[in-house]
């Protein structure tokens, strides 16, 4: 039964993520992202990680999506502005560089190059030894994965500063 649910949720996640990436309207893309967040939360429940499922719904589907929709509506993108991407040619360069960095990180993670000492996969007995699912996540998050956790907070801070810069009106 779990395998069938996994395939159903996985299929929904793939279809919604394709709608997210290929959507022409930014609001529709954001709504597809909400669907992806809820499906990922359902997959966390199937894996027995109820704390992560709740955090996924509260933090990402709730707070982050409100922030995304706020920025989309604050920018008030017109159709001409959405199509005019030649103004910022340097963004393509940075997009390619960041895509290469991301691809390198994914390759290193699959090879086991990053976080070799991580004690990530806890059997159910080990989770009970920590006192529960939340304590096990905290133990791994704040020991083995502390640097990526702090890096994520720095990236979110940069995104907030970028949103403020984008919405700032020019002083005349």
Give the model confidence (pLDDT) of 62-91 as tens digits. Answer: 877 777 777 777 776 555 455 555 556 777
Nearest to 44 by CA among 119, 134, 107, 106: 134
Domain ranges of the chain: 1-79, 132-172
Is 1-79 a domain of CATH 3.30.365.10?
Answer: no
Task: Looking at mean pLDDT, say which of 2-16, 56-70, 88-102 comes out highest.
Answer: 2-16
26-30, 46-50, 52-56, 107-111: least confidently modelled range: 107-111
Dihedral of CA 118/119/121/127: which sign? negative
């Amino acid at each position: 039964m779990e395998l069938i649910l996994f395939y159903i949720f996985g299929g929904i996640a793939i279809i919604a993520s394709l709608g997210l990436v290929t959507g022409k309207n930014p609001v529709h893309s954001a709504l597809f992202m909400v669907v992806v967040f809820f499906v990922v939360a359902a997959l966390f429940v199937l894996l027995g990680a109820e704390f992560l499922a709740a955090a996924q719904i509260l933090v990402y589907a709730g707070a982050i999506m409100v922030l995304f929709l706020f920025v989309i509506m604050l920018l008030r993108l017109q159709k001409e502005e959405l199509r005019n991407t030649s103004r910022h040619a340097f963004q393509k360069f940075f997009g390619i560089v960041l895509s290469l960095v991301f691809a390198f990180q994914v390759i290193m993670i699959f090879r086991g190059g990053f976080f070799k000492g991580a004690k990530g996969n806890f059997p159910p007995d080990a989770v009970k030894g920590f006192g529960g699912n939340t304590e096990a996540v905290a133990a791994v998050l704040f020991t083995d994965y502390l640097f990526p956790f702090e890096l994520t907070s720095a990236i979110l801070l940069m995104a907030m500063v970028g949103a403020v810069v984008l919405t700032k009106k020019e002083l005349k």
